Amino acid sequence: MNLHEYQGKEILSSFGVGIQRGIVATTPEEAVEAAKKLTEETGTGWHVIKAQVHAGGRGKGGGVKLAKNLKEVSEIADQIIGMNLVTPQTSAEGKKVHQVLVAEDVYYPGDSEPEEYYMSVLLDRANGTNMIMYSPEGGMDIEAVAEKTPDRIFTESIDPATGILPFQARKIAFNLGLSGKAFKEMSKFVTALYTAYLKSDSSLFEINPVLKTSDDNILAVDAKVTLDDSALFRHKDYAALRDVREEDPTEVEAKEAGLSYVNLDGNVGCMVNGAGLAMATMDLIKQAGGEPANFLDVGGTADAKRVEEAFRLILQDEKVEAILINIFGGIVRCDRVAAGVVEAYKNMGDMIKVPIIVRLQGTNADIAKELIDNSGLNVESAVLFQEAADKVHEVLN
């Protein structure tokens, strides 16, 4: 589950990570109130108004702006709230902004220049550890840094059994080129950040930029936090942080039906049981000259109700020109799935306008094929993987 910047920062702060403070607002009036309150708390007269959407690159899209007085706070909030923010990470239509974070300006001048760094905490699957990835080249496109100057990106493996060790935090601060107070503050920051990642059961933290202020404090200015869905049961209070407005409506519907669904750009809808088989099926579709319209794992219990729900989800996608059902009957018997497909098809009546290819393999596959072939419906059956691919190819051409 992805969080908004302001929610991510609240979690960081609750574990003692230094953050750029802010208050969320949904109207220009609320934004002005928030700015006044921040001025009382922090003494700053300048504020940054930041669009809260689930996408990075907001600054580039005009979703992050500096306000030097309350009039500007109101004007900028008015401009950003309600806009469709287009960034390098959104679609061409962009994302509607429902709220802004009014944050204290932390780039004030002082004894030294503010400096921006990049830092993320994530899983290192290859090593079976957590990892802190960081770079002195923060603030900008980390992808560009990775491409042009990969030696400027450092990684530190953190063994989950020992947690982050003091020497590791110091090494990171050193590699970022810090000394004196900033060095100590960065060591504390890194340690707190790793603890927050672990305790919140997150699967990704991306803080870009981490800022060294002109008076040598270390703050998270941005926060992209992804919580591990499978651990949400341990954090009842985090469930309320979900903002379904930011999610794909079809994917939300799928989640509610207990299906694992990811919307893609192609023209062949697929319904499969098991994530591995779903991946193989997507490869098969590509090989047959199509493009998968979705990833859809109906799970172990492919009964009529689930098959029907899955059909509905796939059919909502107007790009779909054919549907491939590829089910392995291990736990669930093929004849039950076939009966489910036939029943769902009949229930959906004339909603289904595209050809359907069904490949059922495993327990009772022969009975299943007979059921499909004798149903009198516009459904083609296949036994072999290749046969299914050929039929997909046929209907697309």
Among 353, 360, 251, residue whose Cα is nearest residue 302: 360
- Beta-carbon neighbour count of residue 283 at 10 Å? 11
208: contact with Mn ion by CB under 5 A: yes
* Residue 97 backbone dihedrals phi, psi, to 5 degrees: -95, 120
CB of 48 or CB of 342, closer to ligand GDP: 48
Q: Which stretch binds Mn ion (CB under 5 A): 3-11, 202-210, 242-250, 374-382?
A: 202-210
Sequence length of the chain is 397
CB of 46 or CB of 385, closer to ligand GDP: 46
**DSSP H or E run through 276:** helix 275-287
59: contact with ligand GDP by CB under 6 A: yes
Q: How many residues of this chain bind ligand GDP (CB under 6 A)?
A: 17
48: contact with ligand GDP by CB under 6 A: yes
Q: Decide if 296 contacts 272 (C-beta within 8 A).
A: yes
Question: In whole angstroms, what is the distance from residue 280 CA to residue 158 CA?
Answer: 33
Contacted by 48, from ligand GDP, Mn ion, none: CB < 5 to 8 Å by type: ligand GDP
Please report, to the nearest 10 degrees, the dihedral formed by the alpha carbons of residues 12, 14, 15, 19 taken in order: 40
3-state secondary structure at position 153: coil
Angle of the 70-80 helix axis to the 28-42 helix axis, nearest 10: 140
x/- mask, ligand GDP, residues 90-119, rule CB under 6 A, reads ---------------xxx------------
56: contact with ligand GDP by CB under 6 A: yes
CB of 115 or CB of 380, closer to Mn ion: 115
Contacted by 224, from Mn ion, ligand GDP, none: CB < 5 to 8 Å by type: none
Q: For ligand GDP, which residue of 221, 322, 332, 344 counts as binding (CB under 6 A)? A: 221
What minimum distance in Å lies between the beta carbon of 249 and ligand GDP? 24
Question: In whole angstroms, what is the distance from residue 264 CA to residue 110 CA?
Answer: 49
Residue type for position 121: V
219: contact with ligand GDP by CB under 6 A: no
**Interface positions with ligand GDP (CB under 6 A):** 20, 48, 50, 56-59, 64, 66, 105-107, 139, 208-209, 221-222
